[in-house]
């Protein structure tokens, strides 16, 4: 068990160490970066295969709190083969003394609390995979200060993985903010457009302003949900239990003729809900807070855009999943689909029309990402098992397909130094092998059955149709979401028709020599990504099964929230209690490893 906990720690520390090694490697920077990225992918594969053995065996839920496994610093009550789903690693202590039970409860400590569960497992794997794609896309086009460029990519990877693995609210915020620094330099210095510095500045300021409001919301949740002894906690599992306990206590008071306590809880939750969404809506982004995205994606180098589109936008949707739904459930039920879902639905149509109007393929895919992410937000705020599971799967699918589409544009950029649509035509005759893989990736993006996006989009549609959220026009929003699939096919296939068919035409090539079809490096990238899109479309259950327990926890929270908001009749009680000593569970690992 110690080995697996150290592997979780290595998921964050190895990219940081790799950044230093690549920065010192000089002319061998890209080879060093690729080797270290492959090492990270190998370790990630080992961690994922081990975690699956335990996550797939989880039975019925016994608590409404997340229970991460392989937590570094887990006190392990009965030896090396146990989980307490907590950590003893404290970064900052805010309590004057250490109580004996602090071994099992975070208390007023900001902790280095990392762990694996069904919701973050595949996102960590996505981070590791797309790092390799980003390096290969940048292989020949980054010549100026290449060592610094690849070093910043590793820092960006470390920040994203750290945020996905965090189970302490302040630690999540720290990693969330760390991603701003490498993104700013990657866009502003190595961007390919003339307005790259303005785009980097706008991205940084937008995200910083939103995330500061999110920090206020996180601190507000901590302060308004103290433990029974009056002590605050920053541990996400403890906060989930305490939020549920306080809401159930207020509900009992309301049934006894004191509705003002529950009403006050709801009013507070609504304010905290919108503070959290202020930062997460920018990062996702949700219309009208999306205006930084076309500039950042359009001006950044394609290797950077692969990372931004596949990983950073998922920090926003993952934050909604992990914190908004778990810590402000009643507000998410009453204001999620009716308010945030309304903005997301408008953004779906608006961004799709903007995508169709673009002359540049980078901007077209950038606006397409806004439209697809609006669909994902609707799935999350449906707040039921189908919507949550579909949205969780779609984070991985969208990250894979959108990153692959931007990597596809690297083929044109490396040969012609342009991604404008109009200079191209008849490319299927010039590059038949590339055209085949480009069509596979485009069809995956628009949700063709048997490819990956289809399953997650259908699950989200089912969740939206079945959403029983007060004030939410579920069927209307489902129609908008379904129409977005048609719009996606419209602008993506129109782009393919213009670029790959029509009479042959092409812009001047880089260096003047005739452009060749895919080389070995590009065949590896596009064949691998296409195979993954097909595999995930044919066997989605492999990704869905490990997250069943965590999805069930959020679904149970949603059911209780619907009761409190008057949408459902009272349900039998679920086990919620304040700040318990975590129950020790025996790990389902294949072998004892020390």
pLDDT digit string, tens, across residues 61-72:
777 888 898 888
Q: Provide φ and ψ at 7, rounded to 5°.
A: -65, -40
Confidence of residue 102 (pLDDT cuts 50, 70, 90): very low
Better-scored residue on pLDDT, 106 or 246? 246
Please check the confidence at residue 100 and state whether its pLDDT lies above 70.
no
Q: What is the pLDDT of residue 583?
A: 47
DSSP assignment of 159-176 equals HHHHHHHB-BHHHHHHHH
Do 265 and 246 form a contact (C-beta atoms < 8 A)?
A: yes
Q: Across the chain, which distance is largest between two alpha carbons, in Å?
A: 82
What is the residue-averaged pLDDT of the chain? 86
Q: Which helix (H) or strand (E) holds 424?
A: none
Q: What is the tens place of the pLDDT at every residue in 404-423?
A: 999 999 888 888 888 889 88
pLDDT at 196 exceeding the cut of 50 = yes
pLDDT bin (cut points 50, 70, 90) of residue 579 is low
Per-residue model confidence (pLDDT) at position 106: 62
**In angstroms, what CA-CA distances link 342 with 61, 345, 473?**
32, 5, 9
Of 245-254, 289-298, 548-557, the least confident = 245-254
pLDDT of residue 58: 81
Average pLDDT on 369-395 reads 92
Average pLDDT over residues 432-439: 92
- Indicate if the pLDDT at residue 125 is higher than 80: yes
- Rounded Cα gap, residues 219 and 217, in angstroms: 5
Over 50: is that where the pLDDT of 587 sits?
no
Q: Residues of the chain with pLDDT > 90: what percent?
A: 46
**pLDDT number for residue 546:** 92
Nearest residue to 422 (alpha-carbon basis) of 523, 505, 362, 350: 505
- What is the mean predicted confidence (pLDDT) over 165-182? 93
Comparison of pLDDT for 146 and 512, the residue scoring more: 146
At residue 584, the pLDDT reads 43
Task: Give the H or E element holding residue 550.
Answer: helix 548-564
* Reduced DSSP (H G I as helix, E B as strand, rest coil) percent helix, strand, coil of the chain, to 5: 70, 5, 30
Give the three-class secondary structure for 508.
coil
Per-residue confidence (pLDDT) for residue 81, from 0 to 100: 57
List pLDDT tens digits, range 2-52: 778 889 999 999 999 999 999 998 888 889 999 999 999 999 999 999 999
Ramachandran angles phi, psi of 286, nearest 5°: -110, 135
464-503 tens-digit pLDDT: 988 877 776 768 888 898 898 899 999 999 999 999 988 8
Question: Band of the pLDDT at 530, cuts 50, 70, 90?
Answer: very high
Tokens representing 432?
A: 């038949």
Residue 592 has pLDDT above 50, yes or no: no
C-alpha distances in angstroms, 235 versus 108, 232, 375? 9, 9, 30
The pLDDT-based confidence of 96 (bands split at 50, 70, 90) is low
Q: Where does the pLDDT of residue 77 fall: very low under 50, low under 70, confident under 90, or very high at 90 and above?
A: low
Is residue 520's pLDDT more than 90?
no
Does the pLDDT of residue 429 top 70, yes or no?
yes
**359 SS3 class:** coil
pLDDT score recorded for residue 519: 87
Q: What is the pLDDT of residue 591?
A: 47
d(CA 126, CA 121): 9
pLDDT for position 322:
93
Angle ∠(386,392,393) on CA atoms, nearest 5: 90
């Amino acid at each position: 068990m110690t080995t697996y906990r150290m592997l979780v720690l290595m998921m964050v520390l190895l990219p940081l160490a790799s950044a230093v090694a690549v920065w010192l490697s000089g002319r061998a920077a890209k080879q060093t970066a690729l080797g270290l990225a492959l090492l990270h992918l190998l370790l990630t594969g080992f961690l994922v295969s081990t975690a699956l053995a335990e996550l797939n065996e989880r039975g019925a839920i016994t608590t409404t709190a997340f229970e991460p496994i392989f937590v570094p610093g887990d006190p392990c009550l009965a030896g090396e083969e146990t989980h307490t789903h907590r950590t003893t690693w404290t970064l900052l202590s805010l309590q004057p003394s250490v109580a004996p039970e602090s071994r099992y409860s975070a208390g007023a400590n900001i902790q280095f609390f990392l762990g694996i569960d069904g919701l973050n497992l595949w996102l960590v794997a996505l981070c590791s995979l797309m790092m390799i794609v980003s390096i290969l896309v940048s292989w020949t086009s980054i010549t100026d200060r290449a060592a610094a460029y690849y070093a910043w990519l590793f820092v960006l990877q470390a920040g994203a993985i750290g945020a996905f693995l965090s189970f302490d609210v302040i630690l999540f915020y720290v990693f969330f903010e760390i991603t701003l620094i490498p993104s700013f330099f990657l866009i502003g210095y190595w961007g390919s457009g003339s307005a790259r510095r303005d785009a980097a500045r706008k991205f940084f300021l937008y995200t910083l302003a939103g995330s500061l409001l999110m920090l206020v919301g996180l601190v507000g949740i901590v302060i308004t949900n103290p433990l029974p002894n009056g002590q605050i906690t920053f541990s996400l599992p403890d906060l989930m239990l305490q939020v549920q306990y306080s809401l159930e206590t207020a509900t009992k008071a309301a049934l006894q003729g004191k509705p003002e306590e529950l009403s006050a809880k709801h009013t507070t939750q609504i304010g905290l809900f919108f503070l959290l969404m202020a930062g997460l809506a920018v990062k996702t982004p949700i219309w009208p807070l999306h205006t930084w995205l076309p500039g950042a994606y359009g001006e950044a180098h394609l290797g950077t855009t692969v990372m931004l589109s596949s990983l950073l936008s998922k920090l926003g949707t993952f934050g909604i999943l992990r914190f908004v739904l778990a810590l402000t459930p009643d507000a998410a039920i009453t204001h999620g689909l009716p308010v945030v879902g309304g903005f997301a639905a408008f953004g779906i149509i608006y961004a799709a029309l903007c995508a169709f109007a673009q002359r540049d393929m980078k901007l077209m895919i950038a606006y397409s990402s806004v439209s697809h992410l609006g669909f994902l937000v609707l799935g999350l705020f449906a707040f039921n098992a189908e919507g949550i599971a579909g949205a969780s799967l779609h984070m991985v699918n969208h990250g894979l397909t959108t990153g692959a589409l931007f990597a596809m544009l690297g083929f044109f950029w490396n040969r012609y130094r342009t991604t404008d649509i109009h200079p191209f035509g008849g490319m299927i005759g010039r590059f038949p092998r590339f055209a085949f893989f480009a069509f596979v990736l485009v069809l995956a993006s628009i949700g063709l059955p048997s490819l990956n996006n289809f399953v997650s989009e259908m699950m989200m549609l089912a969740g939206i149709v079945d959403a029983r959220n007060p004030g939410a026009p579920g069927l209307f929003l489902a129609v908008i979401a379904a129409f977005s699939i048609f719009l996606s096919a419209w602008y993506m296939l129109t782009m393919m028709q213009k670029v790959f068919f029509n009479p042959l035409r092409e812009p001047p090539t880089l260096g003047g020599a005739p452009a060749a079809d895919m080389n070995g490096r590009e065949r590896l990238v596009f064949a691998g990504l296409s195979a993954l899109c097909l595999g995930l479309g044919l066997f989605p259950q492999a990704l869905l099964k490990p997250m069943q327990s965590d999805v069930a926890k959020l679904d149970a929270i949603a059911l209780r929230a619907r009761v409190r908001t008057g949408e459902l009749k009272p349900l039998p009680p679920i086990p919620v209690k304040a700040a318990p000593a975590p129950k020790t569970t025996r790990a389902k690992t294949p072998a004892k490893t020390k």
